[in-house]
Amino acid sequence: MSYSLEDSEIFVAPRPHFLNLAVAVMEDGRSSEEKAWASRFQLPSDLSDSVSDRIVRHLRASSVFSQVETMPGPVDPNSSDNIRELVSKGADVVLMGELLHYYGRNDPDRRIEGHVQFANLKLYSTHTGQLLWQGTADKLIQRQEKNPGRDDFYAVEALRGAINQLAIRLSGQTFSRAQVYPSERITMRQWRVGVLSPEDLRSPEEKSTTVRKLEGDRDYFLYSEDNEGINKPRADAVSDQWVRKLKAAKIYGSVLIITARGVTPEKLREWSEEGVDAVLASQLSRLSASVTPSYPSQSFPIWSGGMGFRPIFKATALTRLQDVQLIDTRSGQVLWKGEAEYGIDRSVKRWESPVDLLRESLSKTLDRLVNQLSQYSPSSDEK
């Protein structure tokens, strides 16, 4: 009989933690009898990899954490090298444990049993090595079954229940962001954060220097970034708005503009020596607007008795910032990742500038990112 750990849905009422979780491979602590039972159903001799993958899939579906990834092997919490490796990969916490029971069985009276138990479950902060939570998850199924001989299915059902129990217990915890940072960084409200100019990934068309006249109205122009005029939508203006909005949100102690693109270890070291605690790097992939006539170009009488063109146009604008990263200048760790976009699709009058649409879409996009950062950061200065 073939066997596989199929995907299944999990539903919990989570309390999101805004933490990136790494799941280490569970240690296989089953008895020799249980391993012999598994071999009869062509299960792998070591179930730890398969069970760990199932935990990752279930926890992703439960939305308890921002991101859930699996580790390629066990993790030693006492090894600073292991922990540092996790931090460099963006993991805030790591979950490890032991698979103690995994089996299913039935007897001639059609009584069935399935049992899965995780023991020594521990959740560690990768930033401090602090133990944040420990516990177990245990699911035992016992009932009458009309169709015996499905031992492997009973084990799978118990596995779902044990992982669901784990997700619910983790969702009920109150992990403070202060718990996952070193003591000198107990609150980000004391930080000095620099905002870098975004890397400009826009297409050549979006960065075109041509002034495009819109068909139907010779007086209506869409200005590109390099055109003359105070209304030109420059990519560098993104960092200016970032700074204004972050200062208004009061997430950090101080915010400043850094007129540089890209991050290197040398730059991080230089910024750290200048007293900058973290930098915000990002990529600008869209900053565009277009306007087209909503009606065919044709003359029609206006109130003055003269002839003119319909002054209503269809306008769209879109701003997208991606790969936004908050990077610790001392360690080089990526503490937070995010992305956001905002689109506009509406009618405008002839005298309304499409640049105003760009400003609006950019402002809304940054509002969304600032909101994400405010949820990530501690809400108080408590130590």
CATH number at residue 264: 3.40.50.10610
What digits encode the pLDDT tens for the residues 52-64?
888 998 888 777 8
Shared-domain flag, residues 346 and 223: yes
Q: Is residue 359 part of a domain?
A: yes
pLDDT at 341: 87
Q: Which two tokens stand for residue 141?
A: 């199924």
* Among 165, 149, 162, 163, residue whose Cα is nearest residue 112: 149
Q: Which two tokens stand for residue 306?
A: 């003269």
Q: Percent of the chain, pLDDT > 90?
A: 14
Shared-domain flag, residues 132 and 200: no
Residue that is last in its domain, among 158, 180, 202: 180
Shared-domain flag, residues 228 and 163: no
Q: Percent of the chain, pLDDT > 70?
A: 72
Q: Compare 311 and 329 and report the one with higher pLDDT.
A: 329
Average pLDDT value over all residues in the chain: 75
Shared-domain flag, residues 32 and 118: yes
Q: Compare 84 and 37 and report the one with higher pLDDT.
A: 37
Rounded to whole angstroms, the Cα distance separating 342 from 364 reads 6
Rounded to whole angstroms, the Cα distance separating 198 from 257 reads 11
Among all chains, which residue has been given the structure tokens 């975004």?
A: 198
Q: Compare 369 and 64 and report the one with higher pLDDT.
A: 369
Domains identified in the chain, total number: 2
Ranked by mean pLDDT, the top range of 8-12, 76-80, 245-249, 347-351 is 245-249
The residue-averaged pLDDT of 128-154 equals 80
Q: Compare 23 and 84 and report the one with higher pLDDT.
A: 23
Shared-domain flag, residues 190 and 128: no
Least confident of 32-46, 69-83, 201-215: 201-215
| Position 381 pLDDT exceeds 80 | no
Rounded to whole angstroms, the Cα distance separating 333 from 278 reads 10
Position 194 confidence tier, pLDDT thresholds 50, 70, 90: very high
Whole-structure pTM over 0.85, yes or no?
Answer: no
Shared-domain flag, residues 115 and 260: no
Position 47 confidence tier, pLDDT thresholds 50, 70, 90: confident
The residue-averaged pLDDT of 347-372 equals 79
For 347, the enclosing helix (H) or strand (E) is strand 334-349
pLDDT at 1: 30
Shared-domain flag, residues 74 and 137: yes
Q: Is residue 13 part of a domain?
A: no
Q: Which amino acid is at 140?
A: L
Shared-domain flag, residues 357 and 226: yes
For 3, the enclosing helix (H) or strand (E) is none
pLDDT at 20: 83
Domain with 371 in it: 184-376
pLDDT at 267: 93
pLDDT at 23: 92
Length of the chain: 383
Rounded to whole angstroms, the Cα distance separating 133 from 94 reads 11
Q: Is residue 5 part of a domain?
A: no
Q: Is residue 61 part of a domain?
A: yes
Cα 342 from chain centre: 17
Which residues partner with 283 through β-bridges? 199, 322
Three-class secondary structure of residue 18 per DSSP: coil
Q: Is residue 215 part of a domain?
A: yes
Q: Compare 248 and 6 and report the one with higher pLDDT.
A: 248
The residue-averaged pLDDT of 225-245 equals 63
Q: Compare 109 and 3 and report the one with higher pLDDT.
A: 109
pLDDT at 50: 86
Shared-domain flag, residues 260 and 346: yes
Please give the DSSP secondary-structure letter assigned to residue 207.
T
Shared-domain flag, residues 174 and 322: no
pLDDT at 117: 93
Residue that is last in its domain, among 131, 147, 180: 180
| Position 231 pLDDT exceeds 90 | no
Rounded to whole angstroms, the Cα distance separating 82 from 75 reads 6
Rounded to whole angstroms, the Cα distance separating 29 from 85 reads 26
Three-class secondary structure of residue 80 per DSSP: helix
Rounded to whole angstroms, the Cα distance separating 120 from 209 reads 63
pLDDT at 278: 92
Alpha helices in the chain (DSSP H): 32-40, 48-62, 80-88, 151-171, 237-249, 265-273, 354-376
Shared-domain flag, residues 172 and 199: no
Q: Compare 211 and 83 and report the one with higher pLDDT.
A: 83
Q: Is residue 347 part of a domain?
A: yes
Q: Is residue 7 part of a domain?
A: no
Residue that is last in its domain, among 145, 180, 215: 180
pLDDT at 212: 45
Shared-domain flag, residues 51 and 149: yes
Rounded to whole angstroms, the Cα distance separating 82 from 245 reads 37
Distances (CA, A) of 111 to 1, 38, 137, 141, 259: 21, 19, 23, 10, 71
Rounded to whole angstroms, the Cα distance separating 114 from 224 reads 66
Q: Is residue 6 part of a domain?
A: no
